[in-house]
Amino acid sequence: MIPKLCYFLKLLVFIILNNLILKLKLNIDGLLVYFPYDYIYPEQYSYMLELKRTLDAKGHGVLEMPSGTGKTISLLSLIVAYQKAYPLEVTKLVYCSRTVPEIEKVFNIIYIFITHCIINSYFKIAFQIHFSSVKYLSFLALRFGKEVDGKCHSLTASYIRAQHHSNPSQPVCQFYEEFDAVGRQVPIPPGIYNLDDLKDFGRRKGWCPYFLARYAILHANIVVYSYHYLLDPKIADLVSKELAKKSVVVFDEAHNIDNVCIDSMSVNITRRTLDRCQTNVETLQNTISRIKETDAAKLREEYSRLVEGLKEANVARETDMYLSNPVLPDEILQEAVPGSIRTAEHFVGFMKRFLEYLKARLRIHHVVQESAPQFLKDIYEKVCIDRKPLRFCAERLRSLLRTLEIADIADFSAITLISHFATLVSTYSKGFTIIIEPFEDRTPTIANPVLHFSCMDPSIAIKPVFGRFQSVIITSGTLSPLDIYPRILDFRPVTVASFTMTLARTCLCPLIVGRGNDQVAMTSKFETREDFAVIRNYGNLLLEMSAIVPDGIVAFFTSYIYMENIVASWYEQGILENIQRNKLIFIETQDAAETSMALEKYQEACENGRGAILLSVARGKVSEGIDFVHHYGRAVIMFGVPYVYTQSRILKARLEYLRDQFQIRENDFLTFDAMRHAAQCVGRAIRGKTDYGLMIFADKRYARADKRGKLPRWIQEHLTDGSLNLTIDETVQLGKHFLRQMAQPFRQEDQLGLSLLTLEQLQSEDMLQKIAQIAQQA
């Protein structure tokens, strides 16, 4: 496998903090903070206070604040000010976000921040962004990251460059050569660099922007990139290894961070993988025998190097770091490769044996679930493979590929995957499970064996991050209940706080609809979800809402299949036709391109006043990454409680693990998971204090205290007892009233002093007291 250099860092930032001239100068607990706006929200002030305490204590924090209250700018303002005040305490800000648009937003906020702050020309800042698609510079024709990686490696690998010395006709990458010659000595001019800027800079200088960024990341004051660069050991090893300990790491939009952790450590192996791996092994074998005839010395040299355990001496070359270890740095064995796989032939033979074993395991007819030690025991009994050589698989393969001077590494992804699996399974005895399924549950007749090696413990991947950096801030709009994150990620935060949104008018209106007009309970419970009456009532709810809500309505279903079925029966019942009289209907599909188009059309329809409905899926891409600001989403309807598919074996294993290890009951976790997704979905519509929207939870189960209590505080607050078990008619009445009120003009003066403060108002005594109540410690 090729480490994902291709989607490397997003942004890095340099700041040499000096003189700032700012709109607001705030005194946050004795720290002078510059704020690039004329006004400030009270909760922003409160947020900064908590943040400051966390930084002071050099500990970790979990902070929940609704989106649209200026979380990012508060974070940036405070941490940059902190950096300026205590340059020795905090040297770097590493800002991690989830989606690309999110990252770009952060970047633009930095831009605003800086441009508003600086007048003084002495001020030097540099921000950088990077993306390894910058490799396109030299290989414009290649479309896929992998190919670019392969091509890049074939031009920059150390042995290629060595050959170039003796034989100038050997092609090398000019951009890299240029960078290697001078790039590291010349300081990068201070400034803000995003991906394009850096590419531009690289083009001007003739330097490879990819390596430039990897180098620059170490010197930047602010780095903005994706989670994976820090959490995925395969990438973190390359990118983030040398980040200073005194950095502040921020995970924004962190409500799904446990899933990212788990994903980065899990492996799936299908029959196709094994087949491709087979061809890889054959290629390796042929190459070895060829080299043996021509250049046996090389193989001998590698052997002796492995004997001495000196592999590291050679590894330092940055361009050779294309394959990294899938396990976390402190688990990598710092000793010589065991003798059984030291020679190239032996290693290939070893891999062959391993491969055959896996093939045999996949040839089963019933589901098998076992732990890593069980698997290791079995493999030892069946094919006599020891644990220790397995652990070295990834390292050994890397060494071999380098020795064989295989330039185009793109083809070897299958064998890399297998070697990573070998290393992972033999390294971790706890927190992982192996599940072999001979077929998919829905199609039991078609054999499609898959081996899932899945991580169940998110704390494994994130542990080094908490261990290494002095402050890690986990923040999002929806982190409730707050105590669960420290438990599943296994860390001890110094501050845990949830902030509400101060509002001059209640611009959100959460309603729980439990019954139809015929008093039949509405729920997506498994037993009743096919019930005709439930489906009809859901349809009626949407129909009624489409008649009273202006512009856009977004509706979320619990799963894709459920949505398909409901849409079909709505179609049969003629409900959709009636809805079409009011609004256009767009539906999310499993195809991302198709959905993008539907989304754009949806926005277009909202824009030109026609109004539209988007039917979408919780946990889908839309619910995770698309905001429906203002008229794009005047109402969100959540049909049912979005529980995860509980029959999945991987999930069951994880639940068991959580129960045994962290004492979290299955039901608690499932509800927590469902409610965070529901909150994510409904939160998509409110993106600021000037925005407004209805939030309709269409399931009677939401009214129960255990569900309701897990919603974020800023939603819970507005959920009155009177709106807990409404019928459709009541919902329509309340909704009408709410929308009519909200549609009245809303000016800045209305907010001032309540949810928007000037500096003077902020400094008044009773306001400070009020602000103290905004943060709720968990």
Partner 1 sequence: MHYINIIITMASLSEEVLLVVKRVRQRKQDGTLYLMAERIAWGPEGKDRFTVSHLYADIRCQKISPDGKAKIQLQLVLHTGESTTFHFSNESTALKDRDVAKELLQQLLPKFKKKANKELEEKNRMLQEDPVLFQLYKDLVVSQVISAEEFWANRLSLNSVEHSLSNNNKQEVGISAAFLADIRPQTDGCNGLRYNLTTDIIESIFRTYPTVKQKYAENVPHNMTEKEFWTRFFQSHYFHRDRINTGLQDIFSECAKEDEKGLKSMVTQGVKNPMVDLLSLEDKTLDEGYGTATVPTTSNSSNKSLRENSNSAIIKRFNHHSAMVLAAGLRKAEAPSDQASETSSTDGNSRDSDLFQPPLKKVKLQEAIEYDDLQGDSVRKTISLNLKKSDRYSHGPIPLQSQHYSTSQDIINSISIIQHEMRSYKPRLTQVMSSSAASSAITALSPGGVLMQGGGQQTINQLVPTDVQSELKHLYTAAGELLRHFWSCFPVSTPFLEEKVVKMKSNLEKFQMTKLRPFQEKIQRQYLSTNLTGHLEEMLQAAYNKFQAWQTRRMMRKT
> Using CB under 8 A, which residues numbered 53 to 72 contact partner 1?
70, 72
Query: Are 533 and 99 spatial neighbours (Cβ–Cβ below 8 Å)?
Result: no
Which is nearer to partner 1, 79 or 306 (by Cβ)? 79
289 near partner 1, judged by CB under 8 A: no
Interface with partner 1 in residues 422-441 (CB under 8 A): 440
Whole-angstrom distance, CA of residue 411 vs CA of residue 406: 10
Which is nearer to partner 1, 104 or 178 (by Cβ)? 104
255 near partner 1, judged by CB under 8 A: no
Give min distance, CB of 361 to partner 1, in A. Answer: 16
Whole-angstrom distance, CA of residue 374 vs CA of residue 371: 5
Q: What strand order describes the sheet that includes 92-97?
A: 191-192, 124-129, 11-16, 222-226, 92-97, 247-251, 471-476, 60-64, 493-499, 775-777
Whole-angstrom distance, CA of residue 735 vs CA of residue 727: 12
Give min distance, CB of 514 to partner 1, in A. Answer: 28
Give min distance, CB of 195 to partner 1, in A. Answer: 11
Query: Are 46 and 138 spatial neighbours (Cβ–Cβ below 8 Å)?
Result: no
Backbone angle region of 671, left / alpha / beta, with phi > 0 → left and psi within -120 to 50 → alpha: alpha
267 near partner 1, judged by CB under 8 A: yes
37 near partner 1, judged by CB under 8 A: yes
Give min distance, CB of 133 to partner 1, in A. Answer: 11
Which is nearer to partner 1, 70 or 683 (by Cβ)? 70
Whole-angstrom distance, CA of residue 244 vs CA of residue 260: 23
Give min distance, CB of 602 to partner 1, in A. Answer: 8
CA nearest to 90, candidates 254, 251, 243, 257? 243
Q: What is the dihedral of CA 64, 65, 71, 74, to 10 degrees?
A: -80
Task: Choose the stretch contacting partner 1; rule: CB under 8 A; options: 86-94, 197-205, 248-256, 268-276.
Answer: 268-276
Angle at 185 (CA atoms; ends 182, 186), nearest 5 degrees: 85
Residue among 137, 333, 567, 670 that touches partner 1 (CB under 8 A): 567
Q: Which two tokens stand for residue 678?
A: 């529901």
Query: Are 771 and 40 spatial neighbours (Cβ–Cβ below 8 Å)?
Result: no
Task: Choose the stretch contacting partner 1; rule: CB under 8 A; options: 169-177, 308-316, 585-593, 670-678.
Answer: 585-593
Residue among 53, 58, 105, 346 that touches partner 1 (CB under 8 A): 105
DSSP letter at 752 equals B
DSSP letter at 171 equals -
481 upstream amide cis, omega within 30 of 0: yes
Residue among 278, 283, 369, 413 that touches partner 1 (CB under 8 A): 413
Whole-angstrom distance, CA of residue 775 vs CA of residue 778: 9
Interface with partner 1 in residues 304-333 (CB under 8 A): none
Query: Are 467 and 246 spatial neighbours (Cβ–Cβ below 8 Å)?
Result: no
Which is nearer to partner 1, 229 or 375 (by Cβ)? 229
Query: Are 192 and 13 spatial neighbours (Cβ–Cβ below 8 Å)?
Result: yes
Give min distance, CB of 491 to partner 1, in A. Answer: 22
Whole-angstrom distance, CA of residue 202 vs CA of residue 191: 14
**CB count in 10 Å sphere of residue 265:** 26
568 near partner 1, judged by CB under 8 A: yes
Give min distance, CB of 474 to partner 1, in A. Answer: 19
Residue among 39, 350, 466, 556 that touches partner 1 (CB under 8 A): 39
Residue among 751, 771, 774, 775 that touches partner 1 (CB under 8 A): 751
Give min distance, CB of 317 to partner 1, in A. Answer: 23
Half-sphere exposure of 687 (CA within 13 A, CB side): 15
* 599: helix, strand or coil: helix
**Sign, Cα dihedral of 169, 172, 174, 180:** negative
266 near partner 1, judged by CB under 8 A: yes
455 near partner 1, judged by CB under 8 A: yes
Whole-angstrom distance, CA of residue 306 vs CA of residue 341: 10
756 near partner 1, judged by CB under 8 A: yes
443 near partner 1, judged by CB under 8 A: yes
Interface with partner 1 in residues 694-723 (CB under 8 A): none
732 near partner 1, judged by CB under 8 A: no
112 near partner 1, judged by CB under 8 A: yes
DSSP letter at 254 equals G
Give min distance, CB of 720 to partner 1, in A. Answer: 26
264 near partner 1, judged by CB under 8 A: yes
725 near partner 1, judged by CB under 8 A: no
Which is nearer to partner 1, 507 or 513 (by Cβ)? 507
Give min distance, CB of 684 to partner 1, in A. Answer: 13
Q: What is the DSSP string of 30-90?
A: TEEEEESSS-B-HHHHHHHHHHHHHHHTT-EEEEE--TTS-HHHHHHHHHHHHHHH-TTT-
Which is nearer to partner 1, 533 or 584 (by Cβ)? 584
Residue among 627, 695, 726, 771 that touches partner 1 (CB under 8 A): 627
521 near partner 1, judged by CB under 8 A: no
748 near partner 1, judged by CB under 8 A: yes
204 near partner 1, judged by CB under 8 A: no
Give min distance, CB of 423 to partner 1, in A. Answer: 13
Interface with partner 1 in residues 630-669 (CB under 8 A): 650
* 386: helix, strand or coil: coil
Query: Are 560 and 620 spatial neighbours (Cβ–Cβ below 8 Å)?
Result: yes
The neighbouring-strand residues paired with 33 are 26
For β-strands 92-97 and 24-28, DSSP reports them as: unpaired
How many residues bind partner 1, per CB under 8 A?
98
Interface with partner 1 in residues 226-245 (CB under 8 A): 226, 228-229, 232, 235
Which is nearer to partner 1, 16 or 100 (by Cβ)? 100
Interface with partner 1 in residues 588-607 (CB under 8 A): 589, 591-601, 603-605
The 5-24 site mask, x for binding partner 1 (CB under 8 A), equals --x--x------------x-
Interface with partner 1 in residues 122-181 (CB under 8 A): none
578 near partner 1, judged by CB under 8 A: yes
Which is nearer to partner 1, 304 or 646 (by Cβ)? 646
CA nearest to 462, candidates 485, 483, 484, 481? 485
Residue among 82, 586, 669, 714 that touches partner 1 (CB under 8 A): 586
Which is nearer to partner 1, 183 or 640 (by Cβ)? 640
